[in-house]
Structure 1
């Protein structure tokens, strides 16, 4: 009877996979020796494998190039990175190696854009697509960018008042887009997105506020739905409604030449993940072209704003199983040496599933467990509601540490968890390591951030450093005296 952890994975999934392989009963991720990484940096540990960012960008570019060629599509394709997924400099530096554009969502994003421009990472040819609800500082920052000469900005109008606010702040002419307030899936608690303008209101809004405004040029229609780009009747129906608006708008607005289909490419969340990206891209391009051809209007240039797809599959988190608690005759709790709430908060907030695998112990027998975090919060756990079916791991042995990895965690988790800030129950942010490859393909690691210290957390909380230092010295003296007593 096959009862080893390897047997379970091998029988349940198609394994090994492109990024997951096994070497001497230990998991490898994109050729990274994870146990060697643990031995060097310890656990808990966060890591970012930078080459995966460029890989995903170029995969998407290839799919769109193939679809454009297949359908003889006259428009171009522009890949934008949605910065809110991860604002870190190392992420932007890697992404911008691939001739892409930027999508922003708040005021401070513009400061990042200006910083990147000053460093020569982007230039005047880089599109800056500004989404989000715009007030005060965001409007002023967008205006500053445009007034300083960055004309390749498209500010996406989210509400009726933004035209007036932007016109007051921007010296010359500027380009805009309009976001469609898409209808949500029936299971949502509300019918229409809070973002953008209603389908029926867009053409009247153009005629009233934009058509005769000499400062404003409408260039883009923006379409995005919360559930992302998926092969469902709901998605195709919303895309068709969007195209009807595009056609109507194009007939009264010749300057309109771009369609932004937003983001929403899914990323791998289990070893059973199956999504035909090339098919979806081909269908989208084909349907857009068919609608435009039937209406007798020129096809739009296509923009996307991929965030999670760009950076999500580059990230991972590693934990050690500290202890196993048998709470009743059926439930065994494997307690990790960190917190799910603070390090991968989407598991707690939206029951998001990530790829989860044991890193070592693949030759051992397996058992069904629940995973618990260190905080005293009853919601700090990861179980089968998030994970596919049950959670099975190699049997726990207190004398042989077991390590587990959560993969494809690179999008949103640091910003939602509050990187470098306060953490629930003061569980420190783990050490974060960047992994790259040199010109010869050899792995190169560098420490981006050490694990948070108590001094850093106490400083945020307003505790006096002098008092804290005195306390630390007193504690050290007490510990020393205790050791002498024991000896």
Structure 2
């Protein structure tokens, strides 16, 4: 009878997989000895496997290169990283090794760009695509970057006032993009995105504010779908509407030469995850080419803004199961030594799924469980609503510690959770480990941040500031 946890995984999924394999009864992730991490640093812990960032960037570049060559597409491809997915220096340093561009969303992003420029990580020929609703400081910082000589800083106009605000601050001629206010998926409680300018208003806006303005050139039309790039009728319908606007705009805007198809690729959230990235890229390139050829306009240069796809699959978190509570005849609660609300907030806020696996004891018998966090909040749990299937783990045994891992957690979780700040119920932020490879391909680790202690918390709360 197949009752081991390893049997369950083998029967349910194709296993091992590219990034996951077993060493005896212990799980490895990209050949990282996860139990050795636990023995060295303890748990809970978070980690970032930096080489995965470069790997995903270059996978996307290859898909677009192949599609462009196949369809004899005359435009270029430009990969942008959305800094809002993870602003950390180690993430940007790794991403920028790969000849990419940057997409920003707030004023302080520009300060990060300036730091990276000073360090020689970003040159003036890199595009800095400035998205988001622009308050005074954001306008000020964008203008400073442009006035300082970074001509490839491209503000994306989000509302009717931004162009005038930028023109007042910027000394010379500059380029802009316009963001389309796309329609949301039918299940949304509102019809149109709050960001950008409506489809029907873009050409009139150009004619009124840009066409005769000698200071401004329109370079880009920006198209963003909140659900990401997926093979659905909704996505293709919105892309078609976007292309109609691009064609109409191209006929009156001679400097328009770029289309930003924002909205990222999905990332792996289960061992059963399937998505044909190469097919989607091929279809997008072919569709844009055919549509533009029919309208007899030049195809645009393509920009993408991949945030989660860039950094998401580089991250992971490991917890220890502290205790098991049998609350009724059917429900066993495995209590972890941290909190889902504070360390993986998307599991709580939007029921986001992550790959979840036992890290050790794969040769033990398994049982069905629920997972609970340490806070006193009833929503601090992870169960089959968040998970792709019911949760099965090796049976809890007090004398045999059980560790579980959540994988592909590298996008958004630290910033949404408030890295280094206060956490719900004052649950401390776990230690964070950076993992890289040296020139010989050997893995090396270093501690990026310690677990928070009471002094960190009390200082933030003001108790120690006057001492």
TM class by smaller structure = over 0.9
Mapped contact 2:337–2:374 kept (Cα < 8 A): yes
Q: Which runs of 5+ in 2 are unaligned?
A: none
SS at structure 1 position matched to 2:369: strand
Taking only aligned residues, the RMSD between alpha carbons, in angstroms, comes to 0.7
| Distance of 1:226 and 1:73 partners within structure 2 | 27
Mapped contact 1:79–1:304 kept (Cα < 8 A): yes
Map 1:138-217 to 2 at 5 A. 138-217=138-217
1:236-264 deviation digits (Å, cap 9, x = unpaired): 00000000000000000010000000132
Query: Where do 4+ consecutive residues of structure 1 move more than 3 Å?
Result: none
SS at structure 2 position matched to 1:261: strand
Mapped contact 1:431–1:449 kept (Cα < 8 A): yes
**TM-superposed deviation, 1:229:** 0.2
Map 1:239-250 to 2 at 5 A. 239-250=239-250
Mapped contact 1:455–1:465 kept (Cα < 8 A): no
User: Computing the radius of gyration over CA atoms, which structure comes out larger, 1 or 2?
Assistant: 1
Q: Which residue of 2 is the match for residue 364 of structure 1?
A: 364
**TM-superposed deviation, 1:153:** 1.1
Q: Which residue of 2 is the match for residue 482 of structure 1?
A: none
Q: Which residue of 2 is the match for residue 477 of structure 1?
A: none
User: Across the two proteins, how many residue pairs are aligned to each other?
Assistant: 467
Q: Which residue of 1 is the match for residue 57 of structure 2?
A: 57
**TM-superposed deviation, 1:465:** 6.2
Q: Which residue of 2 is the match for residue 458 of structure 1?
A: 458
**TM-superposed deviation, 1:466:** 7.8
1:457-487 deviation digits (Å, cap 9, x = unpaired): 10000002687xxxxxxxxxxxxxxxxxxxx
SS at structure 2 position matched to 1:219: strand
Q: Which residue of 2 is the match for residue 110 of structure 1?
A: 110
Does 2:419 correspond to 1:419? Answer: yes
Mapped contact 1:269–1:353 kept (Cα < 8 A): yes
Q: Which residue of 1 is the match for residue 441 of structure 2?
A: 441
Mapped contact 2:79–2:101 kept (Cα < 8 A): yes
| Distance of 2:347 and 2:242 partners within structure 1 | 33
Q: Which residue of 2 is the match for residue 385 of structure 1?
A: 385
Q: Which residue of 2 is the match for residue 80 of structure 1?
A: 80
| Distance of 2:348 and 2:83 partners within structure 1 | 23
Mapped contact 2:223–2:260 kept (Cα < 8 A): yes
| Distance of 2:279 and 2:153 partners within structure 1 | 31
1:94-150 deviation digits (Å, cap 9, x = unpaired): 000000000000000000000000000010100000000011000000000000000
SS at structure 1 position matched to 2:251: helix
Mapped contact 2:226–2:263 kept (Cα < 8 A): no
Does 2:297 correspond to 1:297? Answer: yes
Q: Which runs of 5+ in 1 are unaligned?
A: 468-487
Mapped contact 2:227–2:263 kept (Cα < 8 A): no
SS at structure 2 position matched to 1:293: helix
SS at structure 1 position matched to 2:87: coil
